[in-house]
Amino acid sequence: MVGAAGTEATGISSKQVEPADSWFHLEALDLNVYGLSYHPDREAVHQQGLDNQVNPGLALHYQLADDKRGATFVEVGAYRDSGSNLAKFVGLGYQFKFGERWRIGGALAAMDSETYNHGVAFVGMIPLVTYDAGPIKLNAVYFPKFANYNEIAAFGFYISLPVGRWLQ
């Protein structure tokens, strides 16, 4: 029996309900594979035992928003730092787009390692430049010399792999 509202007598509509948009989009997920570092002050890194320039590690990079001007992202990961300690971090960042492939910006990151800030976790800004080569992204970060937080400046280099696109 059909009622006045166009539904069956049981009150159940035959109209299909579309699922809500998911907050997680697999194609926005990258795997960061760390890397290498370079310290301009070669003498100071040797004196302090911070001359480990091979810094393996992994992180998950998730792009929260992406438009023609830039991209907002979050990251969480860990790597073997220049003092050969495990550095753990979580960050929120933004990068402006320059042309089709270049991005420049940074992340506000919480860091924890015995190497930085005498082993006390801290929050700092990390400048970041990215070149999107299509199947991979090439990244460079700069850790400036800043008081006790980071006593020797360093550049870091790593790649990002679009695992989210591969898994679809």
Report the half-sphere exposure of 150 (CA within 13 A, side-chain side). Answer: 21
Q: What's the confidence (pLDDT) of residue 30?
A: 96
Q: How many helices (H) and strands (E) does the chain have?
A: 2, 8
Measured CA to CA, the distance from residue 122 to residue 99 in angstroms comes to 34
Domain range annotation of the chain: 32-56+63-167
| Interval 64-70 mean pLDDT | 95
Measured CA to CA, the distance from residue 96 to residue 104 in angstroms comes to 5
Q: What is the CATH number of domain 32-56+63-167?
A: 2.40.160.20
pLDDT, tens only, 22-46: 777 888 999 999 999 999 888 888 8
The pTM (predicted TM-score) of the whole model is 0.81
